[in-house]
Structure 1
Amino acid sequence: MPPDVAPTPAVGPEAIDLPLKLAIARLAHGLSPASLAQAQADWLVHLMVTPSRQLALTGSAMQKAMAWSRFVLRAMQGPCEDCITPAPQDKRFSQPEWQAFPFSALAQGFLLTQAWWGEATQGVRGVSRHHEEVAAFALRQWLDMASPSNFVATNPQVLRETVTSAGMNLATGLGNWWNDAMRVVADGRPRGVEAFAPGQGVALTPGRVVMRNALIELIEYAPTTEQVDKEVVLIVPSWIMKFYILDLTPESSLVKYLVDQGHTVLMVSWRNPGAEDAHLGLDDYLHFGVLDAVKAVDYLHPGRGIHAMGYCLGGTLLSMAAALLCARGGSPLRTVSLLAAQVDFREPGELGLFVDESQIAFLEDVMAEHGYLDGRQMAGAFALINSKDLVWSKLVHEYLMGAHTPMTALRAWNADATRMPARMHSEYLRRLYLHNDLAEGRYRVHGEPVLLDEIRLPMFVLATERDHVSPWRSVYEVLRLARAPATFVLTSGGHNVGIVNPPTGPDSHPKAWFHHASHGSRQAAIDPRRWLAHAHREEGSWWPAWERWLRRHSSGHIDAAAPRPMHGGAVAAPGDYVHQR
């Protein structure tokens, strides 16, 4: 059982700070106003004392104004070539209606303004890189809010729909907004998620819970083939998400795919912690999560060996466990696979915008109220990172166009938020993100060093091209830190869609691709850009490539057997912990 260490709530003079800070947190959606203000002040003050930069920006503004004026004159006479092209992922102005005047002028003016502010927040001498990124992020949020696509009068698609439907789109959109607002007030869940409840619409692969402790349930899935690979596959998902993203519908389930290919698969399902778990730390998640799971698998399948796979922060935790087990000797692990998992947090991507001393202290104050961080607050941070797609596109589609976005298995999973114990969340932000202790060799567990260069096992490391959570160049860094033969794979898609990428069926991605290349244990890791230039490209899903890699590192087949729990009877998959809210 995890150690019974009491949480340390704010007492004495600090206790009177909490009501004010909690009120600010609700208004600021968990973002530290002090952190944002420091970044903006750093940028603005340095800009004010740099006349040369001001002159350059003034010149750029005049050039853009002249380019826009020339475009307007041409556009008034008919469709013409754009003076600025939006980023490939920006689809706000991609429809044909935006090519007609005056909407083309509005779109081009907005894009030019956006480009100018991007220049203004970059390259100001004296501004720290973190403050530069935070200032640019904050200004981008304001610009995205002011986009002409977000308003009835300046969006040609909305205007056309309003005329065609005699305004019914706006009436329906108002109803959609009201329903969503009432669900937020009542702490309800999005409409349609009830069709994707675990064990009913998702997480349907048959199996049983074979081990349970205070932190995890270990699920073993029933075989579907007469023989299975000798080695078993142990999957460690992130604790900030429910495990069934890897077992969604039968057509998009990585678990079912592996089972049908003849693998024995076991899955960690994390308990959704409450206020009583505020004392649980990152080391508890390592010991009573990954290491206990490895011990249980080795007990249930002695001598078979384990192909261990970790996804997102589950992969970070798995790499720590693998380093400890390899250093101790006699590890049952045969391979380690890391999916979209970072071990070096120097370049954590846009999530790093929310990691500095001010922001972490602010979050610690927020967590002091209940002893945990609500998963919806983390979801809010992810929504801000990709606000064009996750916030403003919803406003246009559902509130202005009056449409209903159908609920899908992936969207329902995304709404099934989990909580994080206060101590653990604070420790992983400070020890991993802020101080980068793991990559720099300072991380210790009860005095025992966790050194990634102890990992000598074959590794399969996968990153996704458009990952806002674990940028692929950051994921690549494990090749530099671990002394292991590795296959590195870069696949199309983002942090979730790039992983849920079945090779066939209605949920497959017809334009999916992946690059891959092998890396020897004694071969120095090359620059990621050079790696990409020389890597092999294949079309389709990466799932079959990983399955073939697992099979190459397996040692034969044995007869399949039904799951057997460690201690008597056990509940059927997906278990009990996945239902906790």
Structure 2
Amino acid sequence: MQQSFPDTGLFSVTALDNVFKAGMARMTGGISPAGLVSLYCTWAAHLSMSPGKQVRLNEKALRKSYKSFCHMLASASPGEEGTCIEPLPQDRRFSHPGWQQWPFSQIYQNFLLTQQWWHNATTDIDGLSKAEENGLSFIARQMLDHYSPSNIPWLNPEVLQTTADQGGANLINGFQNFLEDMQRQLSDKPPVGVENFIPGKQVAITPGKVVYRNHLMELIQYSPTTETVQAEPILIVPAWIMKYYILDLSPHNSMVKYLVDNGHTVFMISWLNPTPKDRGLDMDDYRQLGVMAAIDAISDICPKQKIHTAGYCLGGTLLSITAATMAREGDDRLKTMTHFAAQVDFSEAGELMLFTDESQISYLEKMMWDQGVLDGSQMAGAFQILRSNDLIWSRMVHHYLLGEKDHMNDLMAWNSDLTRMPYKMHSHYLRSMFLNNELASGRYLVNDKPIAISDIHVPIFSVGTEQDHVAPWHSVYKLHLIADSEEITFVLTSGGHNAGIVSEPGHKHRHYRISAKKDQERYIDPDNWLVNTPIKEGSWWTEWHQWLVANSSGEVDAREPGKQAKYKPLCDAPGTYVHQV
């Protein structure tokens, strides 16, 4: 009988592929060249088989050329003003008055017409899926934004005027800014001004104690400021993609301080910043060592009381997984569940889906396999690309061409306090959520058994933000279709993924919409909900506080952290994990 042996050459070949792709991924910022080439070939093939679309694009090119020519003639006539195309509302690149003067008006109008033509060229093509069209349109926009006339100093009237007014001092200052940024980047230092927002000194200073710690997280219990508190404590589960203290920034905009001052016992998870030795941590470790360990500790500290829970972004997704698992197992310790810009259905997860097809995830996995973690700067780069106009090109113009200094604030400093993610966990998260949408379809396994969001029956408070590029509010709203809660209160607030959540009372120009859906009421689609739900001025925080009180059972004496012998204070808040770099 012939004995078979494993092909040892197969392992060396696979290792060679992994090492090669890992090295390439670091050079390309984790963006798969194969995915881009595949997308381009798909577009070119379908466009080549669509002669009608080609005729239409040629016709549009002629029309836009004619518009541009007419605009040039009109601009040459004294007293004639006007535009043939307006920038999109969020596009502020051409807001300076100098862009309305010839020849700059002609330059930026031609750019916008070209940008519009490429949008037409990459959309509405027979045979292309919506995801492919979104990807193509996004890539075309990124390439065009790179060559925007606003980024070219001799084509930007604001730069030219500033240079003339300052005798070129702005360019000297800009070059110094560039050298300083490069020096800090090469020496792995944070941006200028971050030193004024150190956790425990200027931010994350709400008094409290770390009452529990394991390898993955520290649990902070905050000190009360009122004589009595609501009976049910609050557990907040932040995303581990960034540090927790976005919810405890400066005293004036700290959600934690607001809750404590309004009579709530607040607990916060502060996650470990993983290193390559933590590469094997997975999603279930975050569930058990994170959320469940915190719930067990709080149940001991506040015996016989159910728990209000809140999860931010990825923390909200993990909280939903935990709540569904607890419901399946008959664990009824949760009183309510709140989502801050969190998704459970990832079928329409916005522009992040552009980075989460099989080609991209497989490519990214090779880099994480090699490093053991996904580095914070690599993840931050992906988020910057989603908002390249605001976070890359606009900053370049103001910082390097106009010579202006960045004015650091607490939210910006927090955003630069980067964290890492373990290889195994992040791979599992990307595949199970973004690629396969297992949680929404009832195929996500916990302990080898599927869980269902529909098993969660506690009242839910869900917050979406109007300008969210990470968790679009239409996607967050899909919770209405999946959850079987007795009540879902949905809030849509102004702002983006972070600024919309940090929306403290007294913040100017804030507004929100809110409505509650009982289990017997019919579903309303998000667009009709938007039209029929009135705008309220101010902060949604007050609504959440009132909702928590309405879903509580009364008041008890305030709880000082560390009273139980088992949970004696380990250190003062903000703890030690928040300082890990």
Residue of structure 2 equivalent to 1:279 = 280
Residue of structure 1 equivalent to 2:23 = 23
Give, in whole Å, the separation in 1 of the partners of 2:400 and 2:26. 24
Give, in whole Å, the separation in 1 of the partners of 2:193 and 2:95. 29
Q: Displacement of 1:390 after TM fit?
A: 0.2
Give, in whole Å, the separation in 2 of the partners of 1:79 and 1:546. 53
Q: Is 1:340 matched up with 2:341?
A: yes
Q: Displacement of 1:79 after TM fit?
A: 5.3
1:580 to 1:79, Cα distance in 2 relative to 1, 3 A: farther
2:539 is matched by which residue type in structure 1?
Answer: S
Report the 3-state secondary structure (helix = DSSP H, G, I; strand = E; otherwise coil) of the residue aligned with 1:460: strand
Residue of structure 2 equivalent to 1:70 = 70
Residue of structure 2 equivalent to 1:134 = 135
Report the 3-state secondary structure (helix = DSSP H, G, I; strand = E; otherwise coil) of the residue aligned with 2:514: strand
Give, in whole Å, the separation in 1 of the partners of 2:194 and 2:370. 29
Give, in whole Å, the separation in 2 of the partners of 1:197 and 1:546. 29
The answer to which of 78-87 and 424-433 deviates more is 78-87
Q: Is 1:153 matched up with 2:154?
A: yes
Q: Displacement of 1:85 after TM fit?
A: 1.1
Q: Is 1:486 matched up with 2:488?
A: yes
Residue of structure 2 equivalent to 1:406 = 407
Give, in whole Å, the separation in 2 of the partners of 1:346 and 1:299. 39
Q: Is 1:238 matched up with 2:248?
A: no
Q: Is 1:216 matched up with 2:223?
A: no
Report the 3-state secondary structure (helix = DSSP H, G, I; strand = E; otherwise coil) of the residue aligned with 1:494: coil
Give, in whole Å, the separation in 1 of the partners of 2:495 and 2:568. 42
For normalisation by structure 1, the TM-score amounts to 0.96
For the 8 Å contact 1:36–1:134, the answer to whether it is kept is no
Q: Deviations over 1:338-378 (max 9, x none)?
A: 01000000001000100011111111110122211001111
For the 8 Å contact 2:23–2:367, the answer to whether it is kept is no
Residue of structure 1 equivalent to 2:91 = 90
Give, in whole Å, the separation in 1 of the partners of 2:96 and 2:301. 57
Q: Deviations over 1:89-129 (max 9, x none)?
A: 10001121211111111111111111111111001111232
1:99-498 correspondence to structure 2 within 5 Å: 99-484=100-485, 485-498=487-500
Residue of structure 2 equivalent to 1:517 = 515
Give, in whole Å, the separation in 1 of the partners of 2:104 and 2:535. 40
Residue of structure 2 equivalent to 1:529 = 527
Residue of structure 2 equivalent to 1:576 = 576
1:500 to 1:42, Cα distance in 2 relative to 1, 3 A: same
CA RMSD of aligned residues (A): 1.3
Residue of structure 2 equivalent to 1:48 = 48
2:55 is matched by which residue type in structure 1?
Answer: L
For the 8 Å contact 2:311–2:342, the answer to whether it is kept is yes
Give, in whole Å, the separation in 1 of the partners of 2:445 and 2:534. 38
Give, in whole Å, the separation in 1 of the partners of 2:68 and 2:217. 58
1:169 to 1:11, Cα distance in 2 relative to 1, 3 A: farther
Q: Displacement of 1:444 after TM fit?
A: 1.1
Q: Displacement of 1:59 after TM fit?
A: 0.6
1:79 to 1:14, Cα distance in 2 relative to 1, 3 A: farther
Report the 3-state secondary structure (helix = DSSP H, G, I; strand = E; otherwise coil) of the residue aligned with 2:492: strand
For the 8 Å contact 2:26–2:367, the answer to whether it is kept is no
Report the 3-state secondary structure (helix = DSSP H, G, I; strand = E; otherwise coil) of the residue aligned with 2:274: coil
Residue of structure 2 equivalent to 1:7 = none
1:79 to 1:379, Cα distance in 2 relative to 1, 3 A: farther
Report the 3-state secondary structure (helix = DSSP H, G, I; strand = E; otherwise coil) of the residue aligned with 1:515: strand
Q: Deviations over 1:435-473 (max 9, x none)?
A: 000000011111232111101111101100010000001
Residue of structure 2 equivalent to 1:36 = 36
For the 8 Å contact 2:19–2:366, the answer to whether it is kept is no
For the 8 Å contact 1:316–1:342, the answer to whether it is kept is yes
1:278 is matched by which residue type in structure 2?
Answer: R
Report the 3-state secondary structure (helix = DSSP H, G, I; strand = E; otherwise coil) of the residue aligned with 1:368: helix
Q: Displacement of 1:236 after TM fit?
A: 0.4
Report the 3-state secondary structure (helix = DSSP H, G, I; strand = E; otherwise coil) of the residue aligned with 2:109: helix
The answer for unaligned runs of 5 or more in structure 2 is 1-9
Residue of structure 1 equivalent to 2:7 = none
Q: Displacement of 1:58 after TM fit?
A: 0.7
For the 8 Å contact 1:483–1:522, the answer to whether it is kept is no
1:23 to 1:330, Cα distance in 2 relative to 1, 3 A: closer
Report the 3-state secondary structure (helix = DSSP H, G, I; strand = E; otherwise coil) of the residue aligned with 1:133: helix
Q: Displacement of 1:522 after TM fit?
A: 3.1
Residue of structure 2 equivalent to 1:539 = 537
Q: Displacement of 1:61 after TM fit?
A: 1.0
For normalisation by structure 2, the TM-score amounts to 0.96
The answer to which of 456-465 and 280-289 deviates more is 280-289
For the 8 Å contact 2:503–2:539, the answer to whether it is kept is yes
Give, in whole Å, the separation in 2 of the partners of 1:44 and 1:330. 54
Q: Displacement of 1:76 after TM fit?
A: 2.1
For the 8 Å contact 1:38–1:131, the answer to whether it is kept is no
Q: Deviations over 1:149-171 (max 9, x none)?
A: 00111111100010111111111
2:181 is matched by which residue type in structure 1?
Answer: D
Give, in whole Å, the separation in 1 of the partners of 2:277 and 2:523. 44
The answer to which of 26-35 and 127-136 deviates more is 127-136
For the 8 Å contact 2:328–2:455, the answer to whether it is kept is yes
Q: Deviations over 1:229-254 (max 9, x none)?
A: 11111100111010000000001100
Q: Displacement of 1:41 after TM fit?
A: 1.0
Q: Displacement of 1:175 after TM fit?
A: 1.0
For the 8 Å contact 1:79–1:99, the answer to whether it is kept is no
Q: Displacement of 1:224 after TM fit?
A: 0.6
The answer for unaligned runs of 5 or more in structure 1 is 1-9
